[in-house]
Amino acid sequence: MTIPDSLVTDPSLCECLELVSKLRILCIQLLSGLQSQGPAGEHSEAALIERARQQKLLNAYLTQLKVLHRAAFISAREAKQTTTEARQEVDRLHLQLQNLYYEQRHLRGEIAACKDFPHSYTSLPLISEGEFLQLHPEHTEDDPHTLMIARLHNEKAVREDLERQRKELSAKKQTLISENKKRKDDLASLDEQLKKFIEIDTNNIPEGILNPRMMVVCSH
């Protein structure tokens, strides 16, 4: 079976095929010479010399073919080793690609979970975005993320100010309660002193001087 030249492109294989073709032609020539010869005694000297030359050439071709065969075998083994290493590298890269796909899916899932997570700031009673921009027009060109951070900072500042006011009012309330309690205590103490004073003055007045009407007045 003849192999088309277009199918073989490797230089060493082309050389091997060329040598095989020469060897085939030489073998055909030798066989034709043997078939066309007469009895052994009729061999001419020129025919014997030509046959010897062809046999030497045949041996040279066979030796060269063995060398090419060995070189082709070594080349095929090296190519097989190279192919194995390349396949292993491809398998490694493919596994790495699969790991990257898996990591990508995992990260996308985490990102989706973070986006859907019910953050506490979403339930805060913030002022509306329009009202905030009216109070702080310098944030009009901000992106949604920066705008939300600014709104949260504003809410924090407002709440801290309200907490400060609450503490101040609470301190004032405690001060007023303390003052009212002190005044009540002072009034109660004054009532006791008046009662004692009245009792002392009443005991020091002679009985004859006091009449029932005066006693009634004093008792009042």
pTM, entire model: 0.38
Q: Which of 14, 32, 123, 106 is nearest to 68 (CA)?
A: 14
57 pLDDT tier (thresholds 50, 70, 90): confident
Average pLDDT in the chain:
81
pLDDT at 130: 87
Lowest mean pLDDT among 7-16, 58-67, 84-93, 206-215: 206-215
| Most confident of the ranges 33-37, 53-57, 155-159 | 155-159
Higher pLDDT, 54 or 8: 54
Segment 96-148, tens digit of pLDDT: 999 999 999 999 999 998 888 777 777 777 888 888 888 888 888 888 889 88
Long-range residue pairs from 44-48, CB within 8 A, at least 24 positions apart, any chain: none
The per-residue DSSP string of 101-151 comes to HHHHHHHHHHHHHHHHS--GGGGS-PPPHHHHHHH-GGGTT--HHHHHHHH
Segment 162-216, tens digit of pLDDT: 999 999 999 999 999 999 998 888 888 888 888 877 877 666 655 554 454 444 4
Segment 115-124, tens digit of pLDDT: 887 777 777 7
